Homo-oligomer: A and B are copies of this chain.
Amino acid sequence: MMTSKTVITQFFKDLQDSICSELATEDGTGSFQEENWVREGGGGGSSRVMEGGRVFEKAGVNFSAVHGRLPEKIKQSFDVPKDEFYATGISLVLHPGNPYVPIVHMNLRYFELEDRLWFGGGIDLTPHYVNEAEARAFHLGLQAICDRHDPGYYTRFKSWADTYFFIAHRNETRGVGGVFFDRLQAKPGESISSIFEFVKELGLAFTGLYLPLVRTNSVRNFGAAEREWQLLRRSRYVEFNLVYDSGTRFGLETNGRTESILMSLPPLASWKYNIVPLAGSPEALTVSFLRKDIDWRRG
C-alpha cells in the first residue's frame, strides 16, 4: 500500500480523536476543550486540553500538520539546498491528580524535506513514585512492539530515551524512560511504509500501555505528603521541558503557538530548597531509580 503524507496525517488526526475519546471515558467527568489554530507560514493544528478531571488534573493532546519553508534556525541543521517541508504529528502529556498515577508523554511525528522522509517520536513514563513491576510491564510492552518491526529497535531506542530524557543539572532521568527515536528513515530497498507501520503500532498501543496504570493507581489513597512530593517531581518535569526538551525549545524559538507548546507543563508545581528524602522512604527509593541504563525488563 502506498503511504502518502495524506494517509499519515489522517492517521495522526484519527489517533488524536481516539486517544481523547478513551481518556475522556476513563476520566468520567472531564472533557477536552479544543482550539483549532492556523500557522502563518502554512498549515495548522488542533490543541485539546482537559483540566480538572476526576483522573486527569491536566491532559493535553495536540495534533498538527504544518508546511512551508523551513525556519532559518532549523534549516542550518540540514544540509539541503531547498527548504520546503511538511511535518505532521501528535504530542501528548498527561498530568494525573493522584500521585500514584505516573505522568506520561508521547510524541509521534512525520517529516518530509524534499525527497527525505522520516519519523521521530517517543513514549516515556514519569512516575512520582517508581513502581518496578509497572515499569517492567511498560518496557516489556514497548519491547514487544519494537521487536515486531526490528530486533534492534528496543535496545537502541530505550537507550536513546535514557540519554534524551535526562535532567543533567539534577543528574536524574526524567522518569523510568521508554523509547525515543529521531530521523528514522526506511532501510535501503524498503519504503517509508515500514517505519509508518511501527509508528502506527506505537500510537495505537498507547492507551493499552498507560490506562492500566491509571486504573490500578487512581483509586489509591494518598495524603498531603504524597501530594507535596508529586508537586516537587512536577517541578523537575518543568525543568526538563524548559531547559532541555528540543521540541519545546524549538517551538518557542521559532514562534510556535506558545499555549500549545507549553500545554505540557503541570497545573501546579512546587520548588522547595534542598529537598533530600528520608533514607529508606518511598521518595528516596524513587530518586534512586532515576538513572540511565536500568534494564527494567528484569523482574
Contact = CB atoms under 8 A, between A and B. Distances in A.
Given A169-B258, A243-B242, A51 B265 contact: no
Nearest to A235: B265
A272 B51 contact: yes
A35 B274 contact: yes
Interface in A168-182: 168-170
Interface hub of A169, A255, A263 (most chain B Cβ within 10 A): A169
Interface in A238-269: 238-239, 242-243, 249, 252, 255, 258-259, 261-263, 265-269
A10 interface: no
Given A169-B252, A170-B258, A242-B242, A267 B274 contact: no
A231 interface: yes
A273 B268 contact: no
A51 B258 contact: no
A222 interface: no
A268 B270 contact: yes
A268 B269 contact: yes
Contacts of A168: 252
Interface string A60-79: 10000000000000000000
- Classify chain A's interface size: 20 to 34
Given A266-B271, A269-B269, A252 B259 contact: no
B243 A259 contact: no
Given A51-B272, A238-B238, A273-B60, A252 B258 contact: no
A269 B231 CA distance: 9
Nearest to A60: B273
Contacts of A231: 268
Contact of A273 (B33, B249, B274): B33
Contacts of A267: 270-272
A72 to B, nearest CB: 16
A49 interface: yes
Nearest to A275: B259
Contacts of A243: 242-243, 249, 252
Nearest to A259: B274
Contacts of A35: 274
Contacts of A272: 51, 267
A256 to B, nearest CB: 8
B263 A51 contact: no
A273 B35 CA distance: 11
11 contacts: A35-B274, A168-B252, A169-B252, A169-B255, A169-B261, A170-B258, A238-B238, A242-B243, A243-B243, A243-B249, A268-B270
Interface of A: 33, 35, 49, 51, 58, 60, 168-170, 231, 235, 238-239, 242-243, 249, 252, 255, 258-259, 261-263, 265-274
